[in-house]
Every structure is written in structure tokens, then in C-alpha cells.
Amino acid sequence: MKNKFSIGLFTAITIIAANQISTGVFISIGFQVFSIQSGFSIVVLWLLGGLVALAGAFSYGELSAAMSRSGGEDHLLSVIYHPVVGFSSGWISVAVGFTAPIAAASMALGAYGSSVILALGYISPEQKSITALLLASSTVTIVTIIHLLKDTLVSGFQILFTTLKIALILAVIACGFAMDSPTSVSFLPTAQSAQEIMSAPFAISLVYVMYAYSGWNASVYIAGEVKNPGRNLPLSLFIGTLIVILLYVPLNSVFLYSTPIAELKGQMDVGLIASNNIFGQSGGILMGNLIAFGLISTISSMIWTGPRVPQVIGEDTHILRFLARKNNNGVPAVSLLVQYIIVLCFIFTSTFDSVVTYIGFLLPLSSLMTVLGIFVMRYKKPSMHRPYLTWGDPVTPLFFIVVISWMLFFLV
């Protein structure tokens, strides 16, 4: 019999980090610089998004430690509010929450990979789009097959690719700040930056930032498989998110430091553009290849955690019990295959922008309802055993609620 609690703290941290370090950080700034020109404002934007994610991680830590079962918001919202709310949230996660980000990460991998292949002269410009589709779909297929194997093998795969991706980002940061001829962008606060921070475009830009940070709650979805969840779940949420903040803020600063804003506007492959300026064309091609390679860990982490949501739906809903069926390795194989089919539908029928639109509103709304649940549960079940209490309470969850509500208001 496979040990139910098979995921340790280090693996849980890599799942958090890998879920977050995805397409968002390599594309978002291209859209932000349309309305935000100050380097200081961009840094504040990414720092604010990180603090919001960290506040959410602290808040989820209390809820997941007290109700440690796999399934994420599906399970938590069912207990906090009503099973119908949890069921609805679960299907949002099934249809959008994981499948759309997996598809987006796969599309980005295909875009970066096909750009590198085109630069090397192996394909023509007319073949670029079909090459990107093939790269995206084949990567999802291979990683899904790997996740049908034992958790110990999957853990090693996850740790390896996440470590490589973090090393890649650190290399870009170090080499970028070592440039002899940086751009003239200023990171000091000005009157312009103060106006930008209080503007509606800043709030809308936060949507892209929160998309980049999405995944800070990933270990909650596999809570039932984490060793010593009362300790390791909150720790993994905090450490994983903190690591990503310490990578994201300097990485976006390097993009501005190394590349003129005019070159970044409206571009999706900002990582490749910045790498060309930092390392030269040959080095840029190599880094673009490594960025595509690094996205594999993001795809892997979401393919790992995503099926646990329909698995819980299957366990709780008799008519859908087939979704909870596991293979001999204890993997929810049917849910994994359902997720795989939906991801392929996104890849072959949607554009990258439309996929991000699906994510931008529904996921923050679900997280907002979950963090509100801290106060609901304290009212409903004041005597519930809570192995961990939210750090900085009540300021921390209130900060998350206020900022996300402000962002959603302008988005609507």
C-alpha cells in the first residue's frame, strides 16, 4: 500500500515555486509598460503583488493546516460556506484554474521554443505557428505520462527542473546587472510614479502580476499527501512564495535595466528580448531555449496538483465517483486524463490572450472568498483545532482582501 503522506517539505516548496515561476514573469512587463513608464512603479507593482501572494499564503496556511485534505478551494469552500460553493469552485479549477495555466505555460514554451528553432534556421516563418503547437501539445503529453508514475519519481523530476529554472533566473539577474551599458531607466520615486501607483492602469497591471504569482497556494491542493501538514503546509506556502518574490522583483528590474521600454511594449517574449541585450544574439538564443526548458517544471507542477480537485469532487459526488479512480501508483489517473484532454482543447482552439482572460478574474475571486473564510470559520467554529494561526492577523488577511477587491473593481 502506498504511503498516503509521501510529499515532504522540500518537494512541497518546489511545487509552490514551480507553479508561480511560469509564463507571467516572462510576458507581463510587455503589457505593463504601455501605461506605466516609471521603473520605481514597476518595482512597486511586483513587490505589491508578492506581498499580496504572501498574505494569501499566510491565510491559506491556517485554513489548510486545520482542514488538511487534498482538493484546494473545492474542499475549503465546501467546509467554510456550503458544498455547492465548493463544488462550483472545484469545477472552476477543473475547467480554468489549472487547465488554462497549463495551456498558457505550454503555449509560452511553444512560442519560445519555436522562436529559437526559427532563429537557428531549422524552420521557415510560415512553419513557426504549427511548430509552437506541436511543442506545446507534445510537452503536455510527455509530462502527463510521467505523472502517471510513482510520486517518488515525480518528486525527483519536479525538484530537478525547478532547481534548473531558479538557476537560470539567477544567471539572468546577475549578468543583467553587470552590463556595461544599461538603459537610462530610473528606479527612484518621482511625482510621475506616485500618480501611476494610484491609477486604474496600475490596478489593471496588477492582474498580470497576480497571474504571474498564481500558484502560491499550490500545496493546498495536495494537502492530504503532505507529511506533517500542520507544520509543512504553512511553511511550504511561506517559503515557496518568499523565494518567488526574491526572484521576481530583481528579474523585472533587470528587464528594465537591460532593455529600452520601447522594445518591451506589447511583446510576449520579453525574456528572449532581454537575453539578446544581455548576452548577445547567440547567448539570447541559448537563454530563450533554457527559458522554454524551464517552463517544463511549471507545467509539471500544475499537472501534478490539478487532478486532486476533480478527485475530491469524485469522492464527494456519487455520480462522478469515476473521477476519484486511482491507478496502481495511487495517482488519480482518470482526473489526470480529463485534465489532459481539456488542456489540449485550450491549446488547439484558444489564443494566449483569451486563456489569460479566463484566469484573470475567476482565480482571484475564488481566493478572495477563501481568505474571507478565515473570519467565517472563526465565527462558525471558534473551538476548531488550528495547528497554525495566520501571521499578522487580522491585518494580513484584510490586506489581501482589500487589494484583491481593489484590483477586481477596476478589472470589472
The predicted structure's pLDDT at residue 221: 64
pLDDT in tens, 59-81: 887 887 777 665 567 778 888 88
**Which segments of 259-330 does DSSP mark as H helices, in order?**
261-264, 270-305, 308-316
Rounded to whole angstroms, the Cα distance separating 63 from 404 reads 19
155, 11 in Cβ contact below 8 A? yes
Locate cell 469545477: which residue?
Answer: 91
Q: Which amino acid is at 3?
A: N
Residue 131 resides in a domain: yes
Partners of 7 in beta bridges: 226
Distance CA 24, CA 326 (A): 32
Q: Tell me whether residue 2 is in a domain.
A: no
Domain encompassing residue 175:
9-411
Is 281 exposed, middle or buried, given 0-12, 13-18 or 19+ CB atoms closer than 10 A?
A: exposed
Instruction: Give φ, ψ of 98 to 5 degrees.
Output: -110, -40
Please compute Rg for the chain using Cα positions: 21
User: Is residue 4 domain-resident?
Assistant: no
**Cell 531555449 -> residue:** 289
Domain with residue 116: its CATH number is 1.20.1740.10
Is residue 142 a contact partner of residue 293, using CB atoms and an 8 Å limit? no
pTM, two decimals, is 0.78
In a domain, 146, yes or no: yes
Q: How far apart are the first and last CA of the chain?
A: 49
pLDDT higher than 50, residue 216: yes
Q: How far apart are CA 174 and CA 102, in angstroms?
A: 29
Residue 37 lies in a domain: yes
In a domain, 1, yes or no: no
Q: Tell me if 338 is assigned to some domain.
A: yes
For 82, residues 6+ apart whose C-beta sits below 8 A from its C-beta are: none
Domain count, the chain: 1
Among the residue ranges 5-9, 228-232, 394-398, the one predicted with the least confidence is: 5-9
- Tens digits of residue pLDDT in 302-321: 887 778 777 877 887 778 88
